[in-house]
Amino acid sequence: MSVVREESPLALTRRARRMYRTLHQRYPYAHCELDFDNPLQLLVATVLSAQTTDVTVNKVTPALFARWPTAADLAGADRAEMEEVLRPTGFFRAKTNSVLKLAAVLVDQHDGEVPGRLQDLVKLPGVGRKTANVVLGNAFGVPGITVDTHFGRLARRMGWTDEEDPVKVEHAVGELVPRKDWTMLSHVLIFHGRRTCHARRPACGACPVAQWCPSHGIGETDPDKAAQLLKYELAPGAQPTKGEA
């Protein structure tokens, strides 16, 4: 749903930054929810996260990287053995193929190391701008906006852009928020999308930015009923997540 209201560019920028600051206050602990120890692990985990959950990927990657810790190890892995490891992630044959190809190119063209530049990352097999920005922002400290389904949905719902194409969304939102905040903005919006602003039934009555959101009212507006829709660490009775308390 796209809801862009009539407002000047300056007003839109001020509103977007106000919403970001408020959401950051709700999720000060927002972070990449894929577990990783180095750029290679994050790159592979992000590729594996397609059409499955981060929770599932995090259950699989410890065994994957214990068996094949380097790009060279991954490139030389037995296909059938890797397929069994990746089976829980779904589409495991295609994902095995992707990991094997990706690792081979890293070995052949980058000495087994993950490059730290966007223009190099997007040339890798199966790596688009979304994956590249995840790796840059979280493994290399290079600011980047990660436009996944949650980010795109929220950017349109909040009236920051009416663009549907992820690259256009990335550029439009990048004009509204300082570059230094791009990576945390990505985490915050993804957290909000997973926990409060759900695709089918957003918890509008429990949303901290409802007063500035042109889509307020498309979901449950009653505060008590909306609170019951909150997920993860925000759910009633849930234990605080690490770093929240």
Three-class DSSP labels, 80-124? HHHHHHHHHHCCHHHHHHHHHHHHHHHHHHHCCCCCCCHHHHCCC
DSSP secondary structure letter of residue 69: -
By residue count, the chain amounts to 245
Q: Taking the CA of residue 45 as centre, how many other CA atoms within 13 Å lie in the half-sphere pointing to its CB? A: 28
DSSP secondary structure letter of residue 76: T
Active-site hit among 73, 120, 148, 181: 148
Residue 129 and residue 232: Cα distance in Å, rounded? 28
Nearest to 39 by CA among 144, 138, 155, 130: 138
Residue 231 and residue 238: Cα distance in Å, rounded? 9
Active-site hit among 130, 162, 224, 242: 130
Q: Is-catalytic flag, 148?
A: yes
Residue type, 168: K
Q: Is-catalytic flag, 130?
A: yes
Alpha helices in 158-213, H assignment, sequence order:
166-174, 182-195
Write out the catalytic residue numbers: 130, 148
